[in-house]
Structure 1
Amino acid sequence: MAQPPARVLAGAPVQMADAGQAQAAGAAARRDLAQFVQHNLQTRQAGQPAEFPLDINDIQDLKDAKIGYGFQVYTIDPKDIVAGRGGLSSMAKPTGVWRFIITVHDKPIGLATVERSGAAWETVAYGAAVLSKDVEALMAFHGNAERSNLRFIRVFQAQSDFLEVVSGNDGKARFAPLQSARESLLLQQRAQKNGKPAGDGLADPAEYLEPLRAAVKSNMEAFR
């Protein structure tokens, strides 16, 4: 029986190209996970595997592993952030990389990262168990039924991930920092210094521009 296509996440109405990518990437994720599961069940002994990329208690848990919804990774050119060439939302561009939540009994245990190689799509990495739980929690809280009001944005040079949330009421985009951003940008310390909440809720993206600019500048200078 054919499996249903993975649910798609986008920050705007899904374009046909994005929908096609999501279906192809999702099919590859399901195919590759089946192979990954079979290989590990055959080659590993029962019990909790050491240094395993997914958050499982026993290798037999993989029998119930499934590919859940997927989302495309967006990013922002560090030069645009430093130069302040626009708002964070307008500067975010798709990378062509898709990530899919992997679940066991509906609980996230990690992510499958899928990229296109020539004409084919393939899974290039498994892992990010902590990120999968963070993403799942924020998407469930902020997303609409189709999660079409969300975008996952990664600023590589600042080691920071955000969830962009577009309001259904006023159409404005606001950002929710994921754990990497909260830690990398020292958001809790900044909030305490300014007498504000801990910085893990929704905020205008402009509030994160200066911390991101500082982090990007620091990291770029470190590699010169």
Structure 2
Amino acid sequence: MRTDRDSTLRLRRGIGLALSALALMTAPAVQAQNVGAAAVARFKAPDLGDRAGAQAAAEQGLADYVQRKQQQGGAGATAFDLPRAGDLANTRIAGGFEVHTIAPQDIAAGRSELRHMVQASGIWRFFVKVGTRPVGLVTVQRMDGRWQAVSFGGAGLAQELSELMAEHADVGADHLRFIRVHQAQTDLLEVVSPTDLQARYAPLASARAALSTEAPATTSKLLDTYELLEPLRNAVKRNLNGQN
């Protein structure tokens, strides 16, 4: 009986030693795996999203632009409509919007709802302000895989669009879209009503000049799709024919 008991104890002791050795062998590998995962998580670049990444590029682009102008002694005209020449140093990025567009073939195809034709262009524009006054825009887009500022200016559009967005601010920023129909030389602000979810449109100065339709007496007057479709089609066809 004693011999059997001793054999059993030796067997259990052997199994325990083997398990301990196995744990010591595998622990460094598991630890290294965990450390590696933590390192990847720590050094992985954060996903800022399109808006945040685009805005960061606009801010950097504006800072570079101001620095270049200051190195030139601040002489000469700038891309912005500044109240005073010295205000260039006081410019700042103050909100922005993605540019949307409509393909000319969609307009010509006779679809009935503008909102279903609208597509994102991948281009963002950000307001440049001095105090509360909009003085221009910085345009950014992806180039070589990263956001970059590509142009500065557009003071007239910045002022008009800023006023228009403020006028319709009650619908919420998510219900506003800036639309540029290049072939019609037309800019629109789409306003979606939070009550009936219908999309209506405020034509900007370019649209009022390009479309053969009665411009609203005030920007508060929004146009329905049916009021814009035919003038848009005519403008697109006219400009496309002029290019041929």
Residues 186/199 of structure 1: CA separation in 2 closer, same or farther (3 Å cut): farther
User: 1:190-205 counterparts in 2 under 5 A?
Assistant: 190=214, 197-198=216-217, 200=219, 201-205=221-225
The alpha carbon displacement at 1:44 in A equals: 3.4
What TM-score, normalized to structure 2? 0.76
Cα distance in 2 for partners of 1:186, 1:111 equals: 28
Structure with the higher fraction of residues in helix conformation: 2
The alpha carbon displacement at 1:199 in A equals: 6.9
Corresponding position of 1:85:
111
Corresponding position of 1:160:
186
* Gap runs ≥5 in structure 2: 1-47
* Gap runs ≥5 in structure 1: 1-18, 192-196
RMSD: 1.7
Cα distance in 1 for partners of 2:64, 2:243 equals: 39
User: 1:203-214 counterparts in 2 under 5 A?
Assistant: 203-214=223-234
Corresponding position of 1:218:
238
Is it true that 1:63 corresponds to 2:89 in the alignment? yes
Corresponding position of 1:23:
52
Cα distance in 2 for partners of 1:26, 1:145 equals: 23
Find the residue that maps to 2:222 and give its secondary structure.
coil
Is the Cα contact below 8 Å between 1:182 and 1:199 reproduced in 2? Answer: no
The alpha carbon displacement at 1:41 in A equals: 1.5
Alignment deviations for residues 123-158 of structure 1 (CA, whole Å, 9 cap, x no partner):
100011000001100000112475111000000000
Code of the residue aligned with 2:192 in structure 1: it is V
The alpha carbon displacement at 1:198 in A equals: 3.2
Cα distance in 2 for partners of 1:209, 1:145 equals: 24
Find the residue that maps to 2:80 and give its secondary structure.
coil
Code of the residue aligned with 1:108 in structure 2: it is P
Corresponding position of 2:10:
none
Code of the residue aligned with 2:82 in structure 1: it is I
Runs of 4+ in 1 over 6 A off after TM superposition: none
Is the Cα contact below 8 Å between 1:41 and 1:59 reproduced in 2? Answer: no
Cα distance in 2 for partners of 1:91, 1:168 equals: 20
Kindly name which structure, 1 or 2, has the bigger radius of gyration based on alpha carbons. 2
Q: Which has the higher relative contact order, 1 or 2, with Cα contacts under 8 A spaced 6 or more apart?
A: 1
Is it true that 1:169 corresponds to 2:189 in the alignment? no
Is the Cα contact below 8 Å between 1:102 and 1:110 reproduced in 2? Answer: yes
After the TM superposition, which of the residue ranges 120-129 and 53-62 deviates more from structure 2? Answer: 53-62
Residues 167/39 of structure 1: CA separation in 2 closer, same or farther (3 Å cut): same
Is it true that 1:179 corresponds to 2:190 in the alignment? no
Alignment deviations for residues 84-133 of structure 1 (CA, whole Å, 9 cap, x no partner):
13411110000000000100011100111000012210010001100000
Residues 221/199 of structure 1: CA separation in 2 closer, same or farther (3 Å cut): farther
What TM-score, normalized to structure 1? 0.82
* Aligned-pair identity (%): 45
Is the Cα contact below 8 Å between 1:102 and 1:112 reproduced in 2? Answer: yes
